[in-house]
Chain A
Amino acid sequence: MTESALKAESRKISDEGLDKGVEKLTPAKIEQVINSVLANETGARLKVYADTCVHCGLCSEACHFFLSNDRDPSFSPAGKVKQTLWEILKNKGSVSPAFIRRAAEVASTECNLCRRCAMYCPFGIDIAYLMLVIRRICHKLGVMPQYIQTTAHSHSATLNQMWVKEDEWIDSLMWQEDEAREEIPTLRIPLEKEGADIFYSVIGPEPKFRAQLIYQAAVIMNAAGLNWTMPATPGWDNSDMCMYTGDNEMMGRLKKAHFETAMRLKVKRIVMGECGHAFRSIYDMGNRWLSWKMPPIPVTHAIEFYHELLREGKIKIAKKYDKAVTLHDPCNIVRGKGLHEMSRYVVNQTCENLIEMHPNREHNFCCSAGGGVINCGPPFRNKRVEGNKVKAEQLFVAKTKGAKVVIAPCHNCHGGLEDIIHHYGLNMELKFLGDIIYECMEKK
């Protein structure tokens, strides 16, 4: 065993989904599943990537896991491929259950699919795509970390991420409407308003843990005088952990429900809350799996939406936020859609002082929560947080320059950064853009 393989073995974390999952595997089953995925579900792209990589290691410098783990090659992007896909290809799918367990752990808990490394590779090799292929294989083999698999089950049973029952969803909207009416007596969260311009869509955790975000969104919609609605049926959740467990069929089912809800409501667009991965799912992966090249109903991310409202003067800032802030760029919306200048516009319009972290914009370091890694739950928490010392260092530098608040316009980033801030004792506050806008806007 090489030194790094030994290290990898020593960091084995027990997880019921992985441990029990591999117990059922046989070499024949593994070989059959792998070869069927490779033959039927991957194409030229995988082959080109596998054949083109010259093992130069340039991508290593891109990866926060590598940089944060004393440059341990097993955490480098190419190292992750080496421990997974290359072995699989070399052995034509004939690998052991123990190998699959390790491959599942690498692909699901040691890579955020953040795509930073693809920018550093001279050939643009997309390691995230390769890790998704591994996850797909692991899904088909039934070897998936327990927590994220639970989430995938919730998606399948309820069409949302958090086991929110149909009535609980409606009840939380009515409750937020009641709360908001204490502040703005005429405010409505219009349910099932057919023909509205906007369907406001959120992710599963919002009604469950962050209901104030729905309240704030309602205040913003109200102040901007928009014709909007929220559905009272499943299909309201834009999030998608099935995309990250490799359950593509469920990913498609979720996006179908989401877009068909928009079609049923006859809205002109979906405005979605501050979330990175959901954007990837509805703007790229989920829609395309269903054969919608672009979202069939246009999707506006919260950053674009706030940008539009501020630029067009639809909402006005009464007083700018006066604590110095820094801004985290969520991978899925900067590398996925280049929204980094818009988010800066929003911050500059609403905050007195933005202190940048470096590198930033499309070169940002991921929060290490993304790609479903945080959803793999407590067993992998330390690895995730320790695997992102570089983010902690970035935040620390911003803090020494005066930043008190970190703005992260993505739910997962919030979770990830919260853990980092706590673990490294950074003592910074975390906010969504919506929190800042709500706090600083003129309310009608």
Chain B
Amino acid sequence: MNDSDIKDWDIAKKEIADIGNWKGMFEWVEEPHVSPDGEKIAAVVKTGDMEFGVCENGTPWESVFDKVWYLRFSPDGRLTALVSDAGEWTVAVDGQTWESRFEFVWNTKFSRDGSGIAVAAQNGRQYFAAVNDSPWEQTFSDMSNLTLSPDGKSSAASVQTVAFGESDIFKFQEGCYSAALDGKAWDMNFVNVWEMSFSPDHQHLAAEVRLNLYDYTVAVDGIPWEQKFSSVWKPEFSPQDGSVTAPARIGGGWTLVRNGTPLWNSRFVQLWHHRYSPDGKKIAAVVSPHFGRWTVAIDGTAWTHNFGDLVTDLVFSPDGNRIACVGKDDGKWTVSVDGQPWTGGFDMIWRPVFSPDGRRVAAKAEKNGRYTVVIDGQPLKEEFRAVWDPVFSPDGEKILICGIEGSGEKYFRQVMRLADI
């Protein structure tokens, strides 16, 4: 959800639903999900014998199903679920099922603005993707790593292109996999094809590939780089010039390479999850500068402060000037912003969120079984039974907090002025 899409920045506090009441209406209520604007809360509910439905803001969907799972709100606030009706599976969006029916569906993916909804699907032991109710025309004997372009216009996946007996090790090593873009497989086969990324215009696709048991590289639109490495991780396209970068292992150390040649001079014990700043000018990555230590490197230079357990959930501020990540040390989770960790550890902390001007950072956190939102290192006074990711208002003066309060099960949507906190 884009914070500017949230209209209601003036209501101070609003009760949306009392989940406690739902429990009287249904045999059981599963874990709730909240829409990005906080206006809706929904859960899978058991409506009868072998019968399940979805309850949204206290109102059940009209249809019921044999099974409902993977209930998720899209970024544009539509409520999706994977549902089975008389043994056939499909996708339900705001209670309406797609026309396509499948033997199974899973792995829902959303485009950035939510207009694209993709799933992995299987019919007659053949695998394919379906986007907005349109299944790929070609199907494959196996498929994984389903990826939707950020604009939702294209989908891709690793697919099996050559049949082989599982015990035929030599056939496998000749390369029986490729990547398929909108259902059309690349011409070249590989031993393995793993994670992949789209170019911003969804015209190009880059994937991690293994050429034989030992040589890894990146293939862009089906053509592998000439350079080979002892391992690589997921490639990304530069938003600036369309070049492709990927972490690669060279001589026992990791660095970032661009179009096959080293971009960074520095070597790390590990390097992965690199991200471009929104303007494409900077690249940050999670790195291990020495064994057992973790931090973030920007354009090859690592922060001084590092963590012992892990670093994850790296994010750039919208203006690209700041970076935040989640880190863990001695079992305690926190957020580090520009290399400065928040003090006080948490039992869990979620991906940090920047204000539009990049000045403020907030994250959902858990301590002693209670949840709160931490803003610039300061936890809110309020504690919740459940809370969702906070959202800053476009002017950066307010923050939206959605949570289930106190001992009850009332779900509130609340806008707070940062100056009052």
Contacts and interface: CB of A to CB of B under 8 A. Distances in A.
A2 interface: no
Contact of A146 (B142, B167, B191, B288): B167
B104 interface: yes
Nearest to A167: B104
B120 A157 contact: no
Interface residues of A, number: 53
Contacts of A186: 27-28
Interface in A313-358: none
A290 B122 CA distance: 34
Interface in A187-214: 188, 190-193, 195
B65 interface: no
Given A140-B214, A263-B310, A291-B288, 11 more contacts: A41-B252, A154-B166, A165-B122, A186-B27, A192-B70, A249-B216, A249-B231, A263-B312, A291-B269, A293-B308, A298-B331
Nearest 10 Cβ contacts at the A-B interface: A293-B292, A296-B310, A291-B288, A291-B270, A167-B104, A291-B269, A249-B231, A149-B169, A153-B172, A167-B122
A292 interface: yes
Contacts of B132: none
A139 interface: yes
Interface in B87-109: 103-104, 106-107
B124 interface: no
A217 interface: no
A149 B292 CA distance: 30
Contacts, number: 108
Contacts of A268: 347-348
B252 A40 contact: yes
Interface string B282-298: 00000010011010000
A20 B169 CA distance: 10
Contacts of B230: 249
B310 A292 contact: yes
B309 A296 contact: yes
A402 interface: no
Interface string B385-414: 000000000000000000000000000000
B327 to A, nearest CB: 11
Interface in B182-197: 191-192, 194
Interface in A143-190: 146-147, 149-150, 153-154, 156-159, 163, 165-167, 170-171, 174, 186, 188, 190
B375 to A, nearest CB: 19
B291 A170 contact: no
A292 B272 CA distance: 13
Interface of B: 27-28, 30-31, 67, 69-70, 103-104, 106-107, 120, 122, 127, 142-144, 160, 166-167, 169-170, 172-173, 177, 191-192, 194, 210, 213-214, 216, 230-231, 249, 251-252, 269-270, 272, 288, 291-292, 294, 308-310, 312, 328, 331, 347-348, 350, 366
Contacts of A292: 292, 309-310
9 contacts: A150-B167, A165-B122, A167-B120, A186-B27, A186-B28, A253-B231, A266-B348, A291-B292, A297-B310
Given A156-B191, A157-B192, A232 B166 contact: no
A232 B107 contact: yes
A249 B272 CA distance: 14
A142 interface: yes
B348 A195 contact: yes
B302 to A, nearest CB: 13
A163 B168 CA distance: 13
Contact of A166 (B120, B348, B366): B120
B31 A193 contact: yes
A192 B72 CA distance: 11
A247 B348 contact: no
A261 B135 CA distance: 27
A16 interface: yes
A157 B177 contact: yes
Nearest to A264: B312
B104 A170 contact: yes
Contacts of B142: 157-158, 165
Interface string A1-39: 000000000000000110010000000000000000000
A232 B106 contact: yes
B350 A266 contact: yes
A73 interface: no
A252 interface: yes
A212 B230 CA distance: 39
Nearest to A41: B252
B144 A234 contact: yes
B192 A296 contact: no
Contacts of A247: 213
A394 interface: no
A68 interface: no
Nearest to A232: B106
